[in-house]
């Protein structure tokens, strides 16, 4: 995956989950979900990310659990 795509995904996550962090500060291998994750995303965030991915990239992710599995990290 290109560096540009990774940064675009980080921006999408930050914007869709309304987090007050710089996308550039998220490491590619940081966990995105759970209490130990820097962003501490939850199931509602997974739904928001899923909807944003569908809107921007036209990809449909099946459900929030699957989104959380797929989006363990960038």
| 23 against 71, higher pLDDT | 23
Question: What pLDDT, on a 0 to 100 scale, did the predictor assign at position 35?
Answer: 85
Nearest C-alpha neighbor of 66 from the set 48, 45, 50: 50
Question: What pLDDT, on a 0 to 100 scale, did the predictor assign at position 65?
Answer: 73
Distance CA 26, CA 17 (A): 14
Cβ neighbourhood burial of 24 (10 Å; 0-12, 13-18, 19+): exposed
Distance CA 22, CA 1 (A): 20
Mean pLDDT of 29-58: 90
Question: What pLDDT, on a 0 to 100 scale, did the predictor assign at position 27?
Answer: 95
* pLDDT digit string, tens, across residues 1-41: 799 999 999 999 999 999 999 999 999 999 998 888 999 99
Question: How many structural domains is the chain composed of?
Answer: 1
Beta bridge partners of 33: 41
Quote the domain boundaries for residue 56. 3-70
């Amino acid at each position: 995956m290109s560096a540009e795509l990774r940064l675009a995904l980080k921006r999408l996550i930050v914007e869709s989950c309304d987090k007050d962090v710089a996308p550039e500060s998220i490491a590619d291998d940081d966990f995105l979900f759970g209490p130990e994750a820097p962003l501490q995303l939850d199931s509602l965030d997974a739904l928001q990310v899923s909807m944003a991915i569908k809107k921007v990239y036209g990809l449909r992710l099946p459900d929030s659990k699957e989104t959380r599995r797929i989006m363990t990290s960038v």
